[in-house]
């Protein structure tokens, strides 16, 4: 997976109501599976599946304490998503979308957008 694909996979993982509910719970602090299940009203099989997707996307951290596994929000992943979205949605001082700079003369101009 390239660096450009990483935010895409993270955004895909965010695009699900149960996963968003889990992340909202984890924004309050670290929780174990039982706590997430109780607070979110999410059944065990579905919760485990959604946590696996969030782990695979790098959006949550895990910490083992004895037999308990605690989940937390991976803040660095969200910073990366935010940076990516900020670049996409950047505005200039007039509130207009920033334009891609024109390449220097002599450079290959594949799919240049105006």
For the beta carbon of residue 97, count every other beta carbon within 10 angstroms.
Answer: 10
User: What confidence score (pLDDT) does residue 87 get?
Assistant: 80
Q: Mapping DSSP to helix (H, G, I), strand (E, B) and coil, where does residue 71 land?
A: strand
CB 71 within 8 A of CB 30: yes
Where does the chain have alpha helices with state H?
6-14, 17-27, 33-40, 44-56, 75-88
User: What confidence score (pLDDT) does residue 94 get?
Assistant: 72
User: What confidence score (pLDDT) does residue 1 get?
Assistant: 44
In words, the CATH class of domain 6-88 is mainly alpha
Sole residue written with tokens 């929780």: 31
The pLDDT confidence band at residue 49, using thresholds 50, 70 and 90, is very high
37 has pLDDT over 90: yes
Mean pLDDT of 71-81: 91
The reported pTM is 0.70
């Amino acid at each position: 997976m390239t660096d450009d694909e990483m935010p895409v996979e993270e955004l895909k993982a965010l695009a699900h109501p149960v996963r968003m509910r889990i992340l909202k719970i984890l924004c309050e602090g670290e929780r174990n599976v039982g706590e997430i299940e109780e607070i979110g009203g999410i059944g065990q099989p579905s919760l485990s599946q959604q946590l696996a997707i969030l782990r695979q996307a790098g959006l949550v951290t895990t910490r083992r304490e004895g037999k308990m596994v605690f989940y937390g929000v991976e803040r660095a992943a969200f910073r990366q998503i935010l940076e990516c979205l900020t670049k996409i949605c950047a505005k200039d001082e007039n509130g207009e979308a920033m334009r891609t700079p024109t390449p220097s003369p002599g450079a290959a101009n594949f799919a240049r957008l105006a």
